Structure 1
Amino acid sequence: MWNKPHLLTAIADLLILAASAALLAAGAVWLVRVPSLPVRQVVFADSLAHTRRIEIEQVLPAVMKGNFFSINLDQVRATLEKLPWVRRVEVRRIWPEKLEVKVEEHRPAARWGEARGELVNSYGEVFSAVLAESETTALPLLFGPQDTAPEVLKRYGEFVANFKVLGERPVQVTLSPRLAWQLKLENGMVVDIGREQPKSPVGVRLQRFIEIYPEAVAKRANRPAVVDLRYPNGFAMRMAGEVKGK
């Protein structure tokens, strides 16, 4: 072996590599266990509209264990994401003693169902949070079976665009368990659109109603309380005080 320089060089390189790896491992263990290098500051990259400072101060201490290198960023992220208004969190270390936190808060787009405090964000996700009364009443009210919030929110946006040309605005949209659509306008009128039908889609029936709305509805001295669009070639109107079915 001694007269094989290439083999000796390879063994030497391996020993040096092993020694370097051992030093790195020892250094990593020391950095994790050393009591110095504490995290002294947590900074938030953006201002928070709904999440209060006291809520953060109540949950962070439990997961701020370890030093700059050993603190578990996934635990910090998961803990903050449990707060009512927090949708998504990113956490990163900033040398030598700081954590930077980026928080994406829910942006409420509508109220959801009859449960108090349930809202729908701009992604169609349902979350529970408390909103000021003035802000709550300004949001539309959406109803639907479980897991249909994204679809109902999307339809709401389409209905808003449909009625904008008339100067009217939907304030409530309902998808029934039988998947029938109903909406309520700001003027109090209820519009029963019904289910999707291959030969008479929801969009077609609604557009037909919107086209004749100025003449057939808007000019009436007494506007209808309910408009029923569930007919393939027309619609029915019921005035306030009329008994359904007569």
Structure 2
Amino acid sequence: MSSTAAHELPLDIRLMQGTSRALIWLFALGCVVAAGHWLMQRNWWDIRAVQLQGDLQRISPVTVRAEALPKLQGNFLTINLAQAQRVFEDVPWVRTAVVQRLWPMRLAVTLQAQQPVALWHEPGGATQLVNAEGQTFSANIGEVQGLGLPQFSGPAGTSAQVLQMSQTLQPLLARAHQTLTTLDLGSGGNWRVQTRSGLRIDLGSAPDSAATQTRLTQFLALMPQLETRYGRAIDSADLRYPNGFAVHLQGVDLPGMNPTTNKTTTPRPAGRKD
């Protein structure tokens, strides 16, 4: 039939022919997709091995394989790498995971371990660990008992703030040969620190202020003189006073000490009016 004759066909016939051709193409495409899906699901593509690499000092390969591999979904072609990454990052001690396909039929998983810097306690919560970025994570606390990690505590979501404060205070304490072992942020915003020697210091609500850090430095400088003078160790100090501090000796209470004159003074809390 000539092209001229074809154009002379009634409209409904031309539409029917076009629809038929479209259905044939759709059917062919569906067959290709179905065949491709069938082929992708064959056990030819099953993952044969998972290669673990990276920081494995704290991360147990046995634990990773036991906890992560059963949760992986799909084969070498169909596995969702982003989802697999989250599965590996749910394993204790894993901070980040990078998952890649390796031919033939293998996965390469590069793991980065958490670096614990402190224990973390918050009201109503189980003990966790804090990493170097201030993030909390769960792990077997018994694995870090010999590391001498400091203990942080505070309201939920404040672990990064407490870590940052510890990094501010530790250099000041180190000048007096003191080491921070406990740092607590109270629900009212009050900060308390304890050192390895057992010294407890109440810093108030603004320990990162220049005035509070000056009082802390002055107190630590005067502490050996006070202990020598009274023949007793200082077990706690209250630095919340604007012009001095109050100390407590083992078995004895002392009035406030003015760091600028070295004379005792009656302490007055910040904000109090006579």
TM-score in terms of structure 2 length: 0.71
Where do 5+ consecutive residues of structure 1 fail to align? Answer: 3-17
Are the counterparts in 2 of residues 206 and 229 from structure 1 also a CA contact under 8 Å?
no
Secondary structure of 1:103's counterpart equals strand
**Displacement of 1:97:** 1.6
**Displacement of 1:118:** 1.3
Where does residue 173 of structure 2 map in the other structure?
A: 163
**Displacement of 1:90:** 1.6
What amino acid is the match of 1:226?
Answer: S
In 2, Cα distance between the equivalents of 1:87 and 1:95? 26
The alpha-carbon distance between structure 1 residues 101 and 33, as it changes in their structure 2 partners (threshold 3 A), is same
Identity of aligned residues (%): 26
In 2, Cα distance between the equivalents of 1:177 and 1:244? 28
Where does residue 119 of structure 1 map in the other structure?
A: 129
* Correspondence 1:218 to 2:224: yes
**Which is further off, 23-32 or 33-42?**
23-32
Secondary structure of 1:99's counterpart equals strand
Q: Which structure would you say has the larger RCO, counting Cα contacts within 8 Å and 6 or more residues apart?
A: 1
The alpha-carbon distance between structure 1 residues 144 and 203, as it changes in their structure 2 partners (threshold 3 A), is farther
Are the counterparts in 1 of residues 206 and 212 from structure 2 also a CA contact under 8 Å?
no
* Correspondence 1:231 to 2:228: no
The alpha-carbon distance between structure 1 residues 203 and 191, as it changes in their structure 2 partners (threshold 3 A), is farther
1:205 to 173, 191, 212: 212
What is the correspondence of 1:8-157 to structure 2 with a 5 Å cutoff? 29=37, 32-113=40-121, 117-132=127-142, 135=145, 138-157=148-167
Are the counterparts in 1 of residues 55 and 112 from structure 2 also a CA contact under 8 Å?
no
Where do 5+ consecutive residues of structure 2 fail to align? Answer: 4-24, 257-274
The alpha-carbon distance between structure 1 residues 33 and 148, as it changes in their structure 2 partners (threshold 3 A), is same
Aligned residues: 228
> Pairwise CA RMSD of aligned residues?
3.1
TM-score in terms of structure 1 length: 0.79
Where does residue 22 of structure 2 map in the other structure?
A: none
